[in-house]
Chains A and B, each alone.
Chain A
């Protein structure tokens, strides 16, 4: 499987008043094409920092980040705008929709930054709004939508440019449990349909249960990786079968 995200020896520290906080410590992780992965861990474990670095909206102090085979570590954040525009999508805890734009316009926004034709733009936005079940509410502004509907718009917006990976920081934290389940199911379906990586942070065990891989962070390090365990088990099984 093609590696979409490769994090190699990444460290990141913050200064909180006079205290140095080590958010990430020599962290290594790879995400392959089509993964549906949860980043789990308590508050301050480094989930958001890791998502920000992978999302090219923050820079590591050391280490490398490779996206779709492109080493983006040394690039400035401004020069990474193109990478964010074309290869990444974001879903935020508070939805972060533009209040003056309606659902259609919010989904359309990332495409306005590209050279895509108007007809193709309309087709994509229409298809995605249809897919997330909001075609009939495309003229509604965020204030006229429920929390779940807003997050559906945000999901459509994250996918509209056809990214390699969608990064979601606590996407269900502001939603009730039923809606959270629905949103996770939608993300899961879209991941299977489109093969897009979904990497999301959460500390809700019910949400984690739906992820196909869970990476647990603690104090800026990976404390547990179900994907690594599965890979080790697969390797062990392969070894037993082949005797090598």
Chain B
């Protein structure tokens, strides 16, 4: 069989022009898939990173009733022992850090106009240490220190109230006891999340101000940052066991379970990539099976000769299928090289994507070299050539010897 494989290998170079055409098709298909696959992976990774660093964190710890029951008062199902829980979590290997947050809402007023806001009370230094900081458009970031109550407004909210850095505004909300409360805050900075709708309503204050405003010691959640995103599932399970045994039966949510937008994007682009892969698969199969069929037709008499000397139909079939495999392997390897080169060139060209819907900025295209995609595309090309070569090979193996020998 090894020698027959050698014959199949030699056949590849019999008609160089035709082989070149087949290789070109495979190289083009491979490159298209590698670039598209890499770009989609880049978007997934970028979106995941943006989602995590945008404040979601890798894991979120909340009271077990928070997700299943409706709160009658703010923070009714908040975490009481956030400090102790944070101590347990922070000591685990693979955990970068934790930060507590309070989600609240209310009215923000400049004296003339009041608008609804979605606020987050947070621990600025811990957030910064975890890298969960949005772009500061003007002014500076929050700090836990300082005598005056600080606030950062999102761009849309600041525009709505015509507020700038240095202005004083009034935050109004309901305390955990259901009483209306208000604090004056001083605008230290304007930030942007990159999502227009969110920027219309978002503001951030140090955790202490939120606690003060809501008159509580509870927090809404504890956000956990990990060193590796790939550790999410492992640490989720580990953390659940550790906290449960410590008497904190909390609900632990993974970042991707909360990121519905991310999930939607992954589903959509995954489907697009599969459709693209199918189209390229069909195109390569059609064009390659045509050239493989030509290879059979021009070798009909030769096939007859091989069969006359006792080559079985199965071996004739095998010779052509192996030929297809060789073309797939060589074409796939060349396609991988071409894909790699294209990716490098595209990355060096610093191409920009237009601003996506709902975002405020264009973004730089960086296509990663993902080994898994390279292996997948390489195997797909081999499979493609096996499929492309199979029907012509079947035709070759079914030839009548006498007819084949008389073929002109």
Contacts and interface: CB of A to CB of B under 8 A. Distances in A.
Given A96-B302, A100-B10, A101-B7, A57 B401 contact: yes
Contact of A92 (B14, B306, B315, B405): B405
A137 interface: no
Given A82-B310, A86-B310, A100-B11, A112 B3 contact: yes
A84 B306 CA distance: 11
Contact of A100 (B7, B301, B313, B400): B7
A96 B301 CA distance: 8
Contact of A110 (B301, B309, B401): B309
Interface in B344-382: none
B160 interface: no
How extensive is the interface on chain B, given as a class?
Answer: 20 to 34
B11 A92 contact: no
B181 interface: no
A58 interface: yes
A112 B4 contact: yes
A101 B252 CA distance: 68
Contact of A81 (B11, B14, B311): B311
Contacts of A86: 310
Interface size class of A (residues with CB under 8 A): 20 to 34
A179 B139 CA distance: 99
A113 B311 contact: yes
Contacts of A157: 309
Interface in A82-98: 82-86, 90, 92, 94, 96, 98
A96 B405 contact: yes
Given A58-B401, A112-B4, A98 B305 contact: yes
Nearest to B301: A96
Contact of A96 (B11, B305, B310): B305
Contacts of A58: 401-402
A77 interface: yes
A101 to B, nearest CB: 7
Contact of A113 (B11, B309, B402): B309
A92 B304 CA distance: 11
Interface string A22-40: 0000000000000000000
Interface of B: 3-4, 7, 10-11, 13-14, 301-302, 304-313, 315, 400-402, 405
Q: Which 4 A-B pairs have the closest CB atoms?
A: A85-B310, A57-B401, A96-B305, A84-B310
